Amino acid sequence: MKLNRRDALRLGLMGGSAFFVPFGVQKPLHAAPFSPQIPRFVKSLPIPKVLSPEYSDETTDYYKITLQKNRVEILPNTTTEIWGYNGLFPGPIIRQRGGNPKTEGRQSVVRFINTLGQDDGDCDIDAVIHLHGMASLPQYDGFATDFVPPGHFKDYIYPNDRAATIWYHDHAIDKTSRNVYMGLAGMYIVEDGFELDLPLPKGEYDVPLIIRDAFFEQNGSDAKLVFDNRGEKSTYGDVALVNGVPWPKMEVARRKYRFRLLNTSPSRGYQLALSREEDRMTVGEKMVVIGSDGGLLEKPVTLTSPYPALKLDMAERYEIIIDFSDYEINDCVYLKNIGFSGSIDVDTRIHTLMRFDVVRDEPDNSTIPDPLRPVKRLQESDAVRTRTFRFERSFSQWLINGRGWDENRVDANPGFGDIEIWEFENPGSGWFHPIHVHLIDMQMLDRNGLPVHPHEQGWKDVFHLGEFEKLRVIGEFGPRKPEYMTRFIHGKFMMHCHNLVHEDHSMMTVFEVGENGDEPKSDAAKPIAEMKSFKETYPEPPQVYDMEAIEEFDEELYGEGR
């Protein structure tokens, strides 16, 4: 269908990009049609605080995060109730030293304390915390029914073996989309010596951009976050938030910046590109992709606007360099979202996310190394089997191979150390699915038989599966050497669509690596009354991971330096 300018105005769609492709228009089913209109590019981009450990010993840093309700100003002159880690929106950043545990890497214990209480319907807000992108033991991976009920806490232990931009978020069965929508999401950065030694932009020039959408209903000074999953299909908003602020601006110097992009939206994917003008796409703006979900790419990949845009599905991470010395002082550069294919939603003040204002000169001794970091390619010929997973909607449910979630059913059991090819299929029906596999990073082989984009060729844990697509990915389910078969890592993990509404209803399944792994619910949350200080709880640092095995495994898999 075609939409003329008047139709678009009526639907409130203009002000987006000239590349906006309005097919599949559906009216939002919200109680109120749109969030209040607010001025954009007024507030400065805030940078979420880096959380300091409460306590450290020789191998481990101990952090404490309280899940709590809070009221924060998101829309001007109003406050909004959010559910946040430490009451923050988004949560605090954990920045941890990873890498070889013998020489540099640190282990984390993060104590999550749930004080969220009840929701509007007087139901307990049971939390589950998943650190997305970390290879955690099953009992620390946030299995969807391993609850931390209100009044309880749980210590999650993380090995930090891979340098990457990852994130923690809620994973409670059936409620993940609402809980993440209400604010339960935060970034977690693992760095190692190899990466820190590279001459990439650092410090204040290394900037997280946590992107999501939200819908607000305003009543006087109360702007309520409205969660509407539209008949269990998807939840969208018409306000773009970056680091918790609607359409921020950021003043930048004429030099290179590293941006860590993370999409925490429950259901919205983005296609990112830069433009010098807000209402049309200018040609030739560059972003250089240096990393994806699982860390640095082998080589930098330059994307030049308007196409190809950088697709950022839900839960995906990309790291990019923007060199603002390509611009003059007083230039503005817009981070645009230039439209979708599949799962169309047309609330589209969302076609611009934020603005960079180039305001000053500054020296820049950073460079983008080429190559960045060796990436060992997994070989198809090493795969011992292929499995097929079909993601589709039927009987008003979101299903994988025709089945919904059953925590007691294991749908795949790769042998410990096996290399497998997983084939994801989307037979169509108007939706794309970002497929997330817990525990391991994988590599994409091809999409509909064609090579994937160069920037998709690194280590990843979320895979864009478009309509009518068949995507093949390859992964290794642990190290193959028999002497490693002690702790690292057997057990049951989840695989699901990261459209969180699809995940909740119930496009999620269990796979099990090897046998005799720890049970996902073997380390249950405890009442807050039983909580002791870290020092008392851990007179010795916990040793639940076989760190040497992890280190050797990583060297073998990732090559020198990792």
Per-residue mark of binding to ligand C2O, 457-496 (x: CB under 6 A): -------------------------------------x-x
Residue 271 interacts with, from Cu ion, ligand C2O, none (CB under 5-8 Å by kind): none
* Residue 438 in contact with ligand C2O, rule: CB under 6 A: yes
Contacts with ligand C2O: how many residues (CB under 6 A)?
Answer: 10
Region 290-319 residues binding ligand C2O, contact defined as CB under 6 A: 315
Q: Which does 132 bind (CB under 5 to 8 A by kind): ligand C2O, Cu ion, none?
A: ligand C2O
Residue with the CB atom nearest ligand C2O in the bound state? 132
Smallest separation (angstroms) from Cu ion to the CB of 477 = 23
d(CA 171, CA 229): 16
Nearer Cβ to Cu ion (225/497): 497
If you ran DSSP here, which 8-state letter would residue 5 be given?
H
Q: Is residue 13 a contact partner of residue 5, using CB atoms and an 8 Å limit?
A: no
CA distances from 509 to 83, 127, 284, 397, 437 (A): 27, 19, 43, 14, 10
In the complex with ligand C2O, the residue whose CB is nearer, 64 or 498, is 498
Nearer to ligand C2O, 172 or 223 (CB): 172
Give me the least distance between CB of 130 and ligand C2O, in Å please: 5
For residue 429, give the amino acid letter.
S
Q: Does 152 bind ligand C2O (CB under 6 A)?
A: no
Of these partners, Cu ion, ligand C2O, none, which one is at the site of residue 436 (CB under 5 to 8 Å by kind)?
ligand C2O
**Site for ligand C2O contains 171 (CB under 6 A):** yes
Closest CB to ligand C2O among 154 and 496? 496
First to last CA, the chain: 50
499 touches, from ligand C2O, Cu ion, none (C-beta below 5 to 8 Å by class): Cu ion
9, 26, 403, 438 from 346: Cα distances, Å: 12, 7, 30, 31
Task: Answer with the entry of Cu ion, ligand C2O, none that 154 interacts with (C-beta below 5 to 8 A by kind).
Answer: none
Please name the residue ranges forming H helices in 304-373.
Answer: none
Burial class (CB in 10 A: 0-12, 13-18, 19+), 297: buried
- Who contacts 504 (Cβ-Cβ below 8 Å, separation ≥6)? 173, 174, 175, 176, 177, 229, 232
Question: Pairing relation of β-strands 419-426 and 385-394?
Answer: parallel
> CA of 4: how far to CAs of 9, 57, 342, 402, in Å?
9, 64, 21, 40
Collapsing DSSP to helix, strand or coil, 318 comes out as strand
Give the side-chain half-sphere CA count within 13 A for 317: 31
Does residue 439 bind ligand C2O (CB under 6 A)? no
At closest approach, how far in Å is the CB of 496 from ligand C2O? 6
**Which of 436, 447, 492, 505 touches ligand C2O by CB under 6 A?**
436
Residues 499 and 431: beta-carbon distance below 8 Å: yes
| Structural tokens at position 84 | 């946040």
**Cβ neighbours, 10 Å, residue 523:** 18
Instruction: Indicate which of ligand C2O, Cu ion, none lies near residue 166 (CB less than 5 to 8 Å, by partner kind).
Output: none
Q: Which is nearer to Cu ion, 177 or 499 (CB)?
A: 499
Residue 133 beta carbon to ligand C2O: minimum distance, rounded to whole angstroms? 8
Between 130 and 249, whose beta carbon lies closer to ligand C2O?
Answer: 130
Task: Please report how close the Cβ of residue 315 comes to ligand C2O at its closest, in angstroms.
Answer: 5
Footprint of Cu ion on 418-447 (CB under 5 A): 433
Q: How many other CB atoms are found less than 10 A from the CB of residue 58?
A: 7
Nearer Cβ to ligand C2O (144/250): 144
Among 132, 162, 490, 505, binds ligand C2O (CB under 6 A): 132
Shortest CB 493 distance to ligand C2O, Å? 9
Give the separation between CA 143 and CA 84, rounded to whole angstroms: 20
Work out whether 400 is an interface residue with Cu ion (CB under 5 A).
no
Q: Which of residues 487-526 bind Cu ion (CB under 5 A)?
A: 497, 499, 502
494 binds, among Cu ion, ligand C2O, none (CB under 5 to 8 A by kind): ligand C2O
Query: What amino acid occupies position 76?
Result: P
Q: Residue 178 or residue 436: which is nearer to ligand C2O going by CB?
A: 436
Give the strands of the sheet with 385-394, arranged side by side.
397-400, 385-394, 419-426, 469-476, 442-447
Identify the helix (H) or strand (E) that includes residue 196: helix 193-196
Residues 6+ apart with CB under 8 A from 448: 468, 469, 470, 471
Q: List phi, psi (to 5°) of 276.
A: -80, -10
Q: How far is the CB of 43 from Cu ion (least distance, A)?
A: 32
433, interface contact from ligand C2O, Cu ion, none, CB < 5-8 Å by kind? Cu ion
Contact positions vs ligand C2O (CB under 6 A):
130, 132, 169, 171, 315, 436, 438, 494, 496, 498
Contact positions vs Cu ion (CB under 5 A):
433, 497, 499, 502
